[in-house]
Structure 1
């Protein structure tokens, strides 16, 4: 029985299963088709037949009243109850048979019985209903089913079975299309919801990264003030105090004053460098590829190391946090090459992919053993800072190196478009 129910549900879904055959058209055809067929049959009968028009109108009125009472005005909570549907179908087919027996034109109205039969439950009853409607619609103009099947049983049996199979099969195909439509709509709704959720998560992630970046900059400035400016001012004070004690020795006094002035100039330069580092200046008026090209060119001119910069994929504007992070990673990687690598050639590659963007920095320097650096507790040539930067944006950082084999740093970030900016 379960398999029969499943077959019927696929043939003609109930409201609980989602969309029925006609629900893609708002349910209006299913609701008004019986009335339209009844009106058409009645109009044709009145125009073309010689039967008593008053009786025709009276029977058509009874049919319309039955439709109203058993179909249209039934409360929604009862509309699909098997008993209600069976009673509605039985009355409809009976009245339609009377009308068709009186005037074959009303076979047009009998067509509504097919649709009502498909609402029957369980499945065997629906097939039986379709068979009954088929038998009546074909035999009523020929004396009714009893006479037709008695005189030509093989003919009318084949005709009825074929029509039952055709109507049932058509309902099956149409219902399958309706289910596919509903499934596609559900999947599209889920995809839209997932995209909206992903966009929200991206906005949240970028906001958190921005806040974390502010904290990082504060910590960096604090450390830099401690390591450079504070130490510089301490040196200046020490030199000025020494100069004060050497007033009686002009040469010694001048030496301490000159040293203090040199320290002051160095501190001023460091302070200006810290201010410039607060924002990714190369990106202020340039695209990311242009900014990386400029940064690598200036770095190469200053260090004397050859830099080969390339861009792959289709360049496009990305979220400022993404571009700033890639620029910072590149600057940090180049700084590490300058400090530790002793390289002669550096390869810098910016790669745009469908949903990711990557920066690769490779050098032919002396290299190192990453495992030894990590196990020794050293700073890792700035790698922890770079790794933290990309992790805040759901990215990854890969480091490959070996003694004498150079070093490769690869930062991979999601290619969040500029439109996703919070």
Structure 2
């Protein structure tokens, strides 16, 4: 519990007990100073009635939020306080509670009216009771009432201002705490995204470098070895037997080196692409994923499937893997359809599901664009090939992801 909450709790306890304590003090003073002019039975009766009236409203906290009932309560309290002060001026000590309850339980004009009424009742007590006023102290009573009313209304206005400022500061502090909590969450998410992007960038850099090395090996070493082997085969037919044996050994070494170079080139490709082309690799991926997650998955190939540059096939295969992974984690789908389309100048992979969907236009908590880490990496991989990634989805209507990249043939330049 905060210091402010603890202070408020103690103040509520004090103001709950205070009216009854002041009423008890006023009654005690009246009984001690009793004169023949004070009707004790009437005083005790009014004291009990006042106690019952306050208890009736204090034991029903839900009534304190209703303006009409609080106006009724205060009117009754004012009548009872005035009656007690008329009977015995020492009850002015209790009438002071009218200020407290006016500020605590009334609002707006009623609060100011309560302060004025209480000031008028207190003025009777200040002048020693109604007998003195009736004997000619009306002007004094009016003057005291006026001064007390002005002071009390001014004090109420000041207290109201302080109360509003305090509530505004408390609200601002609460909003500041909430904003700090959101900022911390956004920073944590940003840190996670940054780490993920670093990993993806590192993986992409490693893959790009390995593929560059593979192209260099293929275009230089492997091609050179193949040329050497061809030349040796031509020479072999024109040599005598002693020399032919050395040429044969050289040819065998060239064949082994060429096979090793080709294995190195294939080693940098994804395992599924090392032994199959893109449609077969995605088909195998879809079958394995469907069997693992028990979701109906269908792959359709349109156009003329033809070998593409390794970067193109790797990008589309990774896009299919990430899209299926997102379906498994988030969509709750019962059916997934994949379409691989070979167009004249582009290759397009579409992945559609009938899952829960999401709002692709919604911003993330840190203000970044839509989508999770996987979609960010997928988009970056496709954009590195001058391609594009489109996402269509809405809550409850499934999701469609389309990855489109240039149709760069084998041996073509990126």
**TM-score, scaled to structure 2:** 0.47
Higher relative contact order (CA 8 A, sep 6+): 1
